[in-house]
Amino acid sequence: MPRVRVQEADFDVGRELETLAGGRKDIGAIASFVGLVRGENDGDAIAGMTLEHYPGMTEKALESICDEAHARWRLLDTLVIHRVGRLVPGDRIVLVAVASAHRGDAFAACEFIMDYLKTRAPFWKREETPAGSRWVEARDSDDSAAQRWKG
Amino acid sequence: MVTILYFAGLRESLGCAREQVALAGGTATVSSLVDQLRGRSDSWTEAFAPGKRWRVAVNQQMADLATPLRPGDEVAFFPPVTGG
C-alpha cells in the first residue's frame, strides 16, 4: 500500500491506523491528524466544497514531504490520504498518520507534514456559500506555520 | 514547444486548462514565458500582473522566474495552494 493516496473515496481512520501498525512490534507511537470540512468560513455558511488537485505533482509533493519528515525525525512509517472532489461539512478531507518508536517524533512529524501539506501540496478548494461559490484564498497563517520548521 | 497547465482560479480567469506553446527564441526561462503570455490580451496581462499571487511548477517541481525551460517541459501555473 503506497504511503500517499489522493482519492475521491472516504477512508476509515481506524482501519488505516491498524494497517499502518501492521502487527509490527517496533512501533511504540502513532500520531494522527484528521481534517474535516467546516460548515462556516470567514463568516459565511458553507454548503460544500470541491477540491481540485494537480494529478502527478500532488502525489510527488506529498511523497517528498514524507521523505523530509523521515529525514528529520526517527520515523517507522508515514501515511497521507487526501480526498478530492465535492465534500460537505463534516466530511473527512485529510488523514496524516505517523508511526515511530516514541511519541515525540510522531507528534512533531505529524504536525510538520500537515504544515508543509498546507503550503506545498497542490490542492485548491472552491467553497459554496449562499452568495455563490468562491476559491478559498491562501492564509498567511499557513505560511507562518510552515516557516517555523525552517533552520 | 512546452505544455502549459493552468489550475483553479487561474484556469477559470484565463479560460484555459492546457495548451502547447512554442518558446520564443533565445534562452527561455519561466520569466520569458510569462512575458510572452502577458502580451496576449488584457486578461493575460491582468492574471500575471506584478503583485498578483501565483505559483509555477516545471516538470511537477516548484519553480521560480529564473527556472530555465527546455522543449518538452511541463509548466504549470496556479494560485497559492489551499489543501488540507
Residue B84 falls within a domain, yes or no? no
pLDDT of residue A139: 87
Name every chain A residue with its beta carbon within 8 A of the beta carbon of B79. 124, 135, 138
Structurally, chain B folds into a number of domains equal to: 1
Cell 491506523 found at: A17
Cβ within 8 Å, pair A125-B83: yes
B72 touches chain A (CB under 8 A): no
Which residue has better confidence, A23 or A47? A47
pLDDT per position as a tens digit, B23-50: 987 789 999 999 999 999 999 999 998 8
Residue B83 falls within a domain, yes or no? no
The CATH number covering residue B66 comes to: 3.10.20.30
Helix (H) or strand (E) holding B12: helix B8-14
Helix (H) or strand (E) holding B10: helix B8-14
Q: Point out the residue among B60, B82, B83 whose CB comes nearest to the CB of A56.
A: B60
CA-wise closest residue to A104 among A29, A27, A34: A29
Would you list the DSSP string of B22-66?
A: PPPSSS-BHHHHHHHHHTS-HHHHHHT-TT---EEEETTEEE-TT
Residue B62 falls within a domain, yes or no? yes
pLDDT of residue A151: 66
pLDDT of residue A1: 53
Residue B33 falls within a domain, yes or no? yes
Cβ within 8 Å, pair B76-A57: yes
Full domain range(s) for residue B64: 2-78
Average pLDDT over residues A20-29: 95
Domain chopping of chain A, boundaries: 4-144
pLDDT per position as a tens digit, A89-117: 999 999 999 999 999 999 999 999 999 99
B22 touches chain A (CB under 8 A): no
CATH class of A4-144: alpha beta
A114 touches chain B (CB under 8 A): yes
- The chain A residue lying nearest B7, using CA atoms, is A54
Average pLDDT, chain B: 94
pLDDT of residue A32: 98
Average pLDDT, chain A: 95
